[in-house]
Amino acid sequence: MDYFDRHEGGERAILVHLEIRQISDPDDLEEFKLLVDSAGAKQLAVITGSRQKPDAKYFIGSGKAQEIAEQVQALEADIVIFNHSLTPSQERNLETLLQCRVLDRTGLILDIFAQRARTYEGKLQVELAQLNHLATRLVRGWTHLERQKGGIGLRGPGETQLETDRRLLQIRVTQLKARLDKVKQTRAQGRAKRQKSDVLTVSLVGYTNAGKSSLFNRLADENIYAANQLFATLDPTLRRLDWQGVGRVVLVDTVGFVRHLPHELVESFHATLEETLEADLLLHVIDSSSPDMHEQIEAVKSVLAEINSDVPVLNVYNKIDLTGEPAHINYSEPGVPSRVYVSAKADLGMSMLTTAVQQLLTGKLSTFELTLPYDAGNLKNELYRLDVVEQESYDESGHEILTLRLPADKLQQLLGQSNIDPFAVLPKEQAELLIPKLEPFEQELKQEAEQALLSDSNLKEDFADYELEAEPTSLTEQESND
Ligand SMILES: Nc1nc2c(ncn2[C@@H]2O[C@H](COP(=O)(O)OP(=O)(O)OP(=O)(O)O)[C@@H](O)[C@H]2O)c(=O)[nH]1
Ligand SMILES: [Mg+2]
């Protein structure tokens, strides 16, 4: 969780985590603590307990509520954070009783997202979600509480406006929605542009705290690409790599997954992830030292399924320095890696990661020797712009030859745009790479068509003649008959 340095001495918080038997959601106390850490609050105490079902007034029982009130006094807490969703009235009742601010799980996650949102769009989306979340709570009035200056739970919307005028809130919401629409349009355009100009894209996805950003930074440091500087400053989550052994790729870091995402945020979260759909390979980074590893893997997989991702995935089991697992690669079939065990922090297994990525991407990259036609200046510029020219040379008759490394379908697209026949500019076996391989069902169709032709009677006669001539045994028989 290295995105933000917290202001000194964050809020003094008491955490409340109950086992509710009617809600089966065990063992995410550890995750709750991580989230509270992320929000920058200081954990004074964790109060646990169990109940059959939530209490209507306080969520917890009144005895437990009293216990918390005493703790708030004794520990001088500023805030009590619940690992549950509270109704606005429960929150209000608790604040009155505890005489301090109360934040529920949704509010907590919204707060973290507010701190982390880096893009303009992300900020707008989080603010919108926060306003929607607050709107239901506005009725409470804040008079019974001391006014807070920039504590957690209230970042983003200005509190004074909110408490004085619901109408302002509505205006702000409308404004935000209009801006979001605009941003979405621009983003779609930007994405199309980037997609066109990039050769291969690899995206890091995974549960929060898995080590995506650590891996991103290590890969970026080890594979510095000269033109990185500008790129990095424009967008800290994108890096062009000259990945030794793999080639030029764009690496993308993404925001981490969290279970039980507040529904206000699901949409914006999906929107940011949809960009990963356009990647050529996903590295699913997994915290292999987490006791919740399997739940986290499942959570990530189900989100990927929801956004209909069919991009190939390599599972990267990170943090092996903590598990003692040796660095290695698992294969699902020969030549097709499915898992790599690494440590981004301790720098273990990075060469194996490279090997695995290389194996998964080599199918995509091929080398071509292109004889450049005289009038193909545009094509040449485009190839240089894409950075896929490895070498420039001349043949005996003075023709310019470019050695290229790029996906076959990309080259096909470029030649098509310039109306160039691949067979005119590439060696035959390379030009054949550009012709898409037939899918199995297409092969079946082709065979059927051939069968149909064969059963055509005229053709059959022709074919019979041909067979007679071609069949040496029948010829011998004929000869002997003569
Ligand atoms: N021991 C150990 N810790 C690691 C390793 N990789 C990352 N970490 C730590 O795990 C924590 C989370 O790492 P990040 O890289 O921020 O994780 P992330 O996946 O980007 O998290 P989000 O951005 O919240 O989704 C940090 O404290 C890292 O130092 C590793 O290989 N071993
Ligand atoms: Mg990160």
Question: Does the annotation place 398 within a ligand binding site?
Answer: no
- The DSSP secondary-structure symbol of 372 reads -
Residue 254 identity: T
| The predicted structure's pLDDT at residue 67 | 95
Q: Is the pLDDT of residue 243 over 80?
A: yes
Euclidean distance between CA atoms 90 and 229, whole angstroms: 50
Lowest mean pLDDT among 66-80, 161-175, 202-216, 457-471: 457-471
Q: What are phi and psi of 176, to 5 degrees?
A: -60, -40
* 215 CB-side CA count, 13 A: 32
Residue 208 Cβ < 6 Å to ligand 1? yes
- Predicted confidence at residue 335, as pLDDT, reads 82
Q: Which residue has the higher pLDDT, 320 or 233?
A: 320
Cα 205 to middle of ligand 2, angstroms: 9
* Closest residue by CA, ligand 1 atom 26: 1
Mean pLDDT along residues 29-34: 82
Environment class of 321 (CB within 10 Å of its CB; exposed 0-12, middle 13-18, buried 19+) = middle
Banded model confidence at residue 44, pLDDT cuts 50, 70, 90: very high
Q: For residues 210-226, give the mean pLDDT.
A: 82
61 assigned binding-site residue? no
Q: How confident is the model at residue 475 (pLDDT cuts 50, 70, 90)?
A: very low
The residue whose CA is least distant from atom 27 of ligand 1 is: 1
Q: What is the DSSP string of 408-453?
A: HHHHHHHHHHTT--HHHHS-HHHHHHTSPPPPHHHHHHHHHHHHHH
**Looking at the DSSP assignment, which residues form a beta bridge with residue 392?**
402
The whole-chain average pLDDT of the chain stands at 77
Q: Is residue 463 predicted with pLDDT exceeding 60?
A: no
| 345 known member of a binding site | yes
Which pLDDT does position 290 carry in this prediction? 94
Query: Closest ligand to 214 CA?
Result: 1
The pLDDT-based confidence of 28 (bands split at 50, 70, 90) is confident
Q: What domains are there in the chain, each with its CATH number? A: 12-139 (3.40.50.11060), 198-362 (3.40.50.300), 365-433 (3.30.70)
Distance 453 CA to ligand 1 centre (A): 63
**Predicted confidence (pLDDT) at residue 12 exceeds the cutoff of 70:** yes
Say yes or no: CB of residue 1 within 6 Å of ligand 1: yes
**213 known ligand binder:** yes
Question: Above 90 in pLDDT, residue 455?
Answer: no
343 lines ligand 1 (CB under 6 A): yes
Is residue 38 within 6 Å of ligand 1 at its C-beta? no
Going from the Cα of 352 to the center of ligand 1, the distance in angstroms, rounded, reads: 19
Residue 151 neighbours by CB under 8 Å, 6+ apart: 11, 78, 79, 101
Rounded to whole angstroms, the Cα distance separating 346 from 7 reads: 28
pTM of this structure: 0.60
Q: Would you say the ipTM is above 0.95? A: yes
Cα–Cα–Cα angle for 268, 273, 277, rounded to 5 degrees: 140
Distance CA 423, CA 61 (A): 79
